[in-house]
Structure 1
Amino acid sequence: MSAFDVRDLLEAAGRSGGHRPGSSHPGGQGAAALPAMPPAEALAPPSPPAFLSPVVLAGCVRVVEFVLIAALGVGVHAVQLTGIVPLSPRYLTATLGIAALAVLLLQAAGAYRMTAFRALTSGALRLLGAWCLAFLLVAAVMVFAKVADHYSRIWLATFFAGGLAALVAERFALVALVGAQMQRGHFDRRTAIVGGGAVAEDLIRALDAQAESGVRIVGVFDDRGDMRSDTVVAGYPKLGSVNDLVAYARTTRLDLIIFTIPITAEDRILQMLAKLWVLPIDIRLSAQASKLRLRPRAYSYLGSVPVLDVFDKPMADWDIVAKSLFDRVVGLAMLVTLAPVMLGVALAVRLTSPGPVLFRQKRYGFNNELIEVYKFRSMYVNQSDAGAAKLVTRDDPRVTPVGRFIRRTSLDELPQLFNVIKGELSLVGPRPHALQAKAANTLYDQVVDGYFARHKVKPGITGWAQVNGWRGETDTSDKIQKRVEHDLHYIENWSILLDIKIMLATPVSLFRTKNAY
């Protein structure tokens, strides 16, 4: 989120008669009548799996090219100078210096943009110029420092020619890889346009004219009736209303939503945003046709099209990579370390009550995706409640004696480390709730406005709410309200350091919680 606070948005939408985001529908909207047209999902193009983002790809290419150049320098020395000139720190410094300088100059020349990854011809001159300039600068330093005589000229010449050939070959392979992935739509930012009319047509044409923007429009959504809204806008079909857009984003990959509605239509925009902010998607407001002129730095750009940032995905690019690595590495280490404890719990469950050791339960995951979560079984088999229709209370007769202990100490959650390794859960995040979980006999999403916004990130085994005491029975609406507030605080302030802080605080919090049964 970058433009205004969620709570201010919801209050404003409520005052203007807007939609209440917390509803019984998994998408976050109520049972409003939908237009009589094919569902948006049926009209949408196939949704390809997410690949590396352009930002992460560019970073990986930088690392690969630095390692490639450095390895080539050392390899040329080994082939030409072994037994003649030792691989001294002097040669290593020159090799690493050339590699680092080449990467910096390639960056300055724009050789790490997606346009350079799509076609070798567009980046060939930049590649040649950056590589030649790197060697010229290094040669100049050697001459002025009066150390040129300490380096083999044959080594430098071979390093120059071999490095250029290696970079060209590597770029050929990169262009082929990126081209194959782009044909599958992996690097496209799948984009929905909200609003119609001439403004939407102008925006769509501007985006279509800029292939380098990486924007792929999937369709148009408009809350106006068919009498005021065309069924096709600039060649793209109208897929439905804003309510349909929420359902669409739950079932197919969507990366970006752009509003073409005038800024002056404040109430209308707020009512729509009150439905859409729960989605893990970037939301932008087109500034192309706006008469309001701000400083260029006030805008972000899709190619050359200016937009105003309204909401950002909580995690993107390197944040996703960092959290995924943290989850998998730490999760695997915990799984190995806690294996004896898990084995002991499994034996205790198996020997004290008949039935399977593990309990499987459907819960909401990232973007409301249904996932199957693993737990050690803590209830008698014939009284298990897979839908969590009834909360577990103190001295609940459905819970086994062993079950009371492992629920109290959260040992029953340990099998969820397998969900973490599979990529369905994170170690830290909002706890995944059962489908029919209730507070005071009312479904969670009917109690809390914006409840589904907690699904903007992967759920976790532990979370900010749990270490702050909001764990266990939710017999009042205030308890689930506090949980969601803490979950949203975590999402808005996420960092690896915060995850580490929560992980370290979790064992202590287990002894403080009194309402976990």
Structure 2
Amino acid sequence: MSTFKQGRYSGFIRPISYLVDLTIINGAVYFFDINLILVYPFHLYISLLWVAIAFYIRFYEVYRFTRIIQIISLLFKQIILFSVIVYAYIGFFKEPSISRFNLGQYLITVFIILTFFKLLLYFLLNKYRSVLGGNIRNVVVIGDNKKTRQLIKTFNTRSDFGYSYKQKFDVNDHDFSLDKCYNYIIENDIDEIYFSVAELSNKQINNLIDFADNNLRELKFIPDNKDIYSKKLKYQYYEYTPILSLRNIPLQEPINKFIKRLFDILLSSFIIVFVLSWLTPILAILIKLESKGPVFFKQTRNGFNYEEFDCYKFRSMTPNKDAHLHQATKGDQRITEMGAFIRKTSIDELPQFFNVLFGDMSVVGPRPHMVSHTNKYARSVDKFMVRHFVKPGITGLAQVSGYRGEIEEDKDIINRVKYDIFYVENWSILLDLKVIVQTFLNALKGEEKAY
């Protein structure tokens, strides 16, 4: 057996992060007149539950390749759950004299300070790796194909990741052998080994695993061209049998479902009270003056779990028997002048905030189609039904990515489904906020397919 790997100082980063964060949440208590009776039990309470929440949401599992949006998402999750348990302290320990207002100020201050230090550490480590060349991990790649070359390009261009690419071993070379790789890895102090699953036999892979385990090297595999390996797989055990779930849906987690529903209720209530309360009477008059018919247009669409619901819009067309069969096209004669304006600005979609409040829709999610179109695409478009694992939305990732409105070509619906599936598998509250902001900006500048 070869000499073991030496330890690296980066192993201290996570414990130090714990210590700094616990110092912040405990120290900030003394900046506000919270009016605590039992001070030391409060410190013990918030410290233990902070750590418990952090373990639950994996708050400290931030790596050199973690995106900043994931870090911000973790910060929001941690502080929301922490706020709940802090306010629960009042009833649990029967301390009604605690100032709720000052407690809120404490939580806001903690969030701001934690965010500052978390992002500061993230940027300092990036600069430390990219500019000073510290915290570097030496890596080798076994295999030569499109994906290994793409990975090598990432190692060479993203210096902030802190990987130093040393060597590629082509399995197809006449002199290739794993022993040759092992000697190079030991002699050049390699930290991590990346290998292509497609290019090694099971025997070679097991041999490589044994070598990595016995020499304390990190081993990571690059998926082959089978699409299943590129999925976001969920690993579970049934007794002692390992099981891989093909699709992990974040919105199936109770905490994520609660956060999204709370956000939907708050935003839809705000829009209904402060926008629709005065806008609806004005639009009702303008719509009625131009054409006879109802102010609202109701259409049956498929939602969560493929269940049907009534989707509401401000009427933008003259009443016609084809409204439930054919979507609007460019220059559609059914659209009124007022209808053209509210469609261009997406104002016609605002009544769907009632659908959100009632629970049939979400603010952000895959856009629901007419039932006739849903049935058609379910048969002709691969994985179309995955969209129905979550509630449909007033706006969606596909819509702000250029795939809203009329389906003119097959690629339009195919790409829309791809974005919808990405949203289903990668949901976060920050992604929702990003989509909402982009939707608002698109509405202001106008969109080519908003007709």
Give me the TM-score of the superposition, normalised by structure 1.
0.43
Asked which structure has the greater RCO (Cα within 8 Å, sep 6+), the reply is 1
Give me the TM-score of the superposition, normalised by structure 2.
0.48
